[in-house]
Structure formats: C-alpha cells, structure tokens
C-alpha cells in the first residue's frame, strides 16, 4: 500500500502520533520484507468485567492496523490490575484480589473479538512474565527511571500539591507496563490519550534495555454519560458492550448534545464528508441526530433487530410514558420509607446515593418528582433517573 495512504489510515482519529519518522522507518522495513509485521501492543486491565465505548475507540484503531497487516497483541493486565493504573486519578485506586481480576478477565475476549479478528490477534496475560520477576529484577527495572521524572506526571503532581498520598506501588504501575513492551519487543502501542506519559516512559525503559523504542499512538478520550469525565468503569459513566439494546439506546440518548459529534466521529468512525452532513443535521434537528446516533451505535453491538428493540422501548417508555414490560416489583407487608424500599430492591446502592438523587430531582413517584423521603403506604411506581423503575406494593 502507498505510504501516504498508510499514514492517512494510521492518523485517522488519533490525538498523538510520535515519532512519525520512526514509524515510517519500521513500516518501510516491513513493506520491503526486511522484517516481519509490526508488533502493536494494546493493554486492558480487567478492573471490571465490561468493556465500554471508550475501549471501542482504541479497538477500532487497532482493527485499522490489523487490516494493514500488523500483529495485534492484546494484553490482559491481570497482574497490573492488582495495582491499578494511577493515570488521571486524584487518589489511589482500590486494589483488586487475584480472584476478582480473573473473573473480570473471563468476559474480555468475547467482547474484544467483536471488533478484532480473533485469528489474527495474539492474546497475552502480563502475569506470565511480571509474576516471574525477582526482587533483583524489580530493583534493576526501578533503577532505570527517576522519582523526579515520575513526579512530572500531572496526576502525581496534583496529588503532591493537595497533600494526597502517593504510594510506592503506584510508581511500579508504569514501570511494569513499560516492561510489558520490553518483554514483547513492541513496535507500536495504542491507547487513550491519558496514556501519553506511560507510553513516553516506556520508550525510555525500552532504550535502557537496549531495544528500539515503540511508536506512541493515542486516540482521543470519549467523554462519558456525566458529560464531564472520560468514559470510565471506575467513574460508572460508561456504555458497555454488553448493555442490553434498551439500555444502550437509552444511554446514548442521554448524552449531552455537544458530545454528539465526538461520538459520530470516534465510535461510528464517520469520515469528514459524513461529518459535514451530521453537523448540518445537529444544527437543524438535534433530536433526530441523537436518535440516529443511538440507533447506529446499538446496531453495532446488537444488529438491526436489537437497534429496533432499543428504539421502540425508548419511544414507548420515554415518549409515550408507558412502563417497561419487566418492571421489578417489591412487595412489603407494611408501609415503608422510600429510601428503604429503593435500598431493599437494589435500585440505589447507598443512602448517600439516595440523598444525592433526591436532591437532584431524579426520583419520581407515579410521574411526580419528590424531594423528601416519603412514607410509601399504598401501591405506586417509582422511577429513578431515566431508566430504573420499581413497583411497590404494600399489603
């Protein structure tokens, strides 16, 4: 393929591509037969069982590279997940047990291979090599980077200023992530833009081990359902691959209007000509533009039938104000406080969440917003947010 076309494909929907000249050199060696396919690394820590649309943006870029003939190496970070990536974090992540990590990782492959060609994807667990490192190996690895350089990270720097503790094991995360690339001799690494520091550190570590450093290729961060922070499992603002068609369609319909262009470009992968059409549609009829977005995204994961189901459910519940067919029922023998009913049913996770939703006007009883913890004395329907319903029946 013509180098200019290769670079166009590689650069599409990327936020950082460095250094281009090293990529060109690697690609020319591959295209001329002087070396094998470029090894492209992508890592995902199984901190929760679901992949989400933020991951999809990276996976879609990986599919581009796979179709160029590169070798995609999918790393399941079962070892690093027990530390937790500190990137963008204002405090240390809670640490997971090996059992939690194993259970979360179990579902990853089925999700990843909805995008990547399984027959052309190499899957590795980084516990394979990281768990074998001796104390001497870890000291040797740590000696290749300085604390002052580590503290240049924006998240660490902010935590130092706010006197939020930084734990030693958090410094090990980017070093172990870098060692993944050393072990695999990675040529390119793909990830979200918040990984630029980790990937730059990886280049330094590869050089220190006498390797040719990897090329950095990052994609923009997809903003989540809160409209503020990147889509993230830890922020619970994500749309998962495994969401039902009804939930997926409804969640997309709930995103802020100003985010629609990003979702069309990054998730649906529209080119510039298509984006011009979409910008005009958003300007002229934003609701229709969002309906189209919700339908197309749901269709990626659930096909035409699933997209129709999601659309019909949304129209029935949120436009005609009908109830979903599968509303859970809570039956109690005596009057119960609203907070207790929602906690008993699992519709809210804690009293703090209940108070927050109440103050935001996100709880309705029989269609009317409530702002106090009412006593439920008769049968009624409670709606929490846009998609959670509960019938309460008092004997």
Can you tell me whether residue 331 is helix, strand or coil?
Answer: strand
**Over 70: is that where the pLDDT of 319 sits?**
no
**Fold classified for 3-219:** Rossmann fold (3.40.50)
Tokens representing residue 104 in the block = 């979360």
Quick count: other Cβ atoms within 10 Å of Cβ 70? 22
Query: Among residues 201, 233, 180, 209, which one has the least CA distance to residue 74?
Result: 180
**Over 60: is that where the pLDDT of 160 sits?**
yes
Q: Tell me which residue has tokens 């207790």.
A: 340
Write down the domain spans for the chain: 3-219, 245-319, 329-394
Apex 155 CA angle, 153 and 159, nearest 5: 115
Q: pLDDT digit string (tens) for 22-79?
A: 999 999 999 999 999 999 999 988 877 889 999 999 999 999 999 999 999 999 999 9
**Average model confidence (pLDDT) across the chain:** 91
> pLDDT value at position 321?
64
What is 329-394's CATH number, 3.10.290.10, 2.30.30.60, 3.30.70.100, 3.30.70.20? 3.10.290.10
Q: pLDDT digit string (tens) for 242-269?
A: 999 999 998 999 899 999 999 999 999 9
Which distant-in-sequence residues (6+ apart) come within 8 Å of 96 by Cβ? Answer: 47, 81, 82, 84, 104
Which distant-in-sequence residues (6+ apart) come within 8 Å of 214 by Cβ? Answer: 41, 181, 186, 187, 188, 189, 199, 202, 203, 206
Q: How confident is the model at residue 110 (pLDDT cuts 50, 70, 90)?
A: confident
Lowest mean pLDDT of 307-311, 317-321, 360-364, name the range: 317-321
Query: Among residues 269, 237, 277, 271, which one has the least CA distance to residue 255?
Result: 237
> pLDDT value at position 356?
86
The CATH homologous superfamily to which domain 245-319 belongs is: Tyrosyl-Transfer RNA Synthetase (1.10.240.10)
């Amino acid at each position: 393929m013509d180098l200019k076309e290769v670079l166009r494909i590689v650069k599409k929907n990327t936020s950082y591509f460095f250094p281009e000249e090293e990529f060109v050199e690697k690609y020319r060696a591959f295209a001329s037969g002087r070396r094998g396919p470029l090894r492209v690394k992508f890592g995902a820590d199984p901190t929760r069982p679901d992949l989400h649309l933020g991951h999809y943006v990276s996976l879609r870029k990986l599919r581009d590279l796979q179709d160029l003939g590169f070798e995609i190496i999918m790393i399941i970070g079962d070892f690093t997940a027990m530390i937790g990536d500190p990137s963008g974090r204002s405090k240390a992540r809670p640490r997971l047990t090996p059992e939690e990590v194993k259970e979360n990782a179990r579902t990853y492959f089925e999700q990843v291979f909805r995008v990547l060609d399984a027959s052309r994807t190499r899957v590795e667990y980084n516990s394979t090599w990281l768990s074998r490192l001796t104390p001497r190996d870890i000291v040797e690895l740590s000696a290749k980077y300085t604390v002052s350089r580590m503290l240049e990270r924006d998240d660490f720097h902010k935590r130092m200023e706010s006197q939020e503790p930084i734990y030693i094991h958090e410094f090990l995360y980017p070093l172990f992530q870098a060692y993944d690339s050393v072990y695999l001799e990675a040529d390119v690494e793909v990830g979200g833009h918040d990984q630029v520091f980790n990937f730059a550190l990886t280049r330094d570590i590869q050089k220190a081990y006498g390797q040719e450093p990897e090329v950095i290729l990052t994609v923009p961060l997809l903003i989540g359902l809160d409209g503020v922070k990147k889509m993230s499992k830890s922020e619970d603002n994500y749309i998962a691959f495994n969401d039902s068609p009804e939930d997926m369609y409804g969640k997309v319909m709930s995103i802020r209007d100003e985010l629609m262009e990003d979702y069309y470009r990054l998730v649906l992968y529209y080119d510039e000509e298509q984006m011009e059409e979409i910008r005009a549609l958003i300007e002229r009829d934003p609701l229709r533009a969002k309906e189209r977005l919700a339908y197309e995204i749901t269709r990626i994961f659930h096909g035409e039938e699933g997209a129709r189901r999601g659309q019909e459910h949304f129209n029935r519940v949120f436009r005609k104000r009908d109830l979903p067919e599968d509303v859970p029922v809570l039956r109690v023998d005596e009057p119960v406080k609203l907070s207790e009913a929602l906690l008993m049913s699992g519709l809210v996770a804690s009293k703090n969440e209940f108070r927050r939703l109440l103050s935001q006007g996100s709880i309705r009883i029989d269609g009317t917003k409530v702002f106090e913890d009412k006593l439920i004395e008769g049968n009624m329907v409670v709606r929490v947010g846009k998609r959670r319903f509960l019938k309460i029946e008092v004997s």
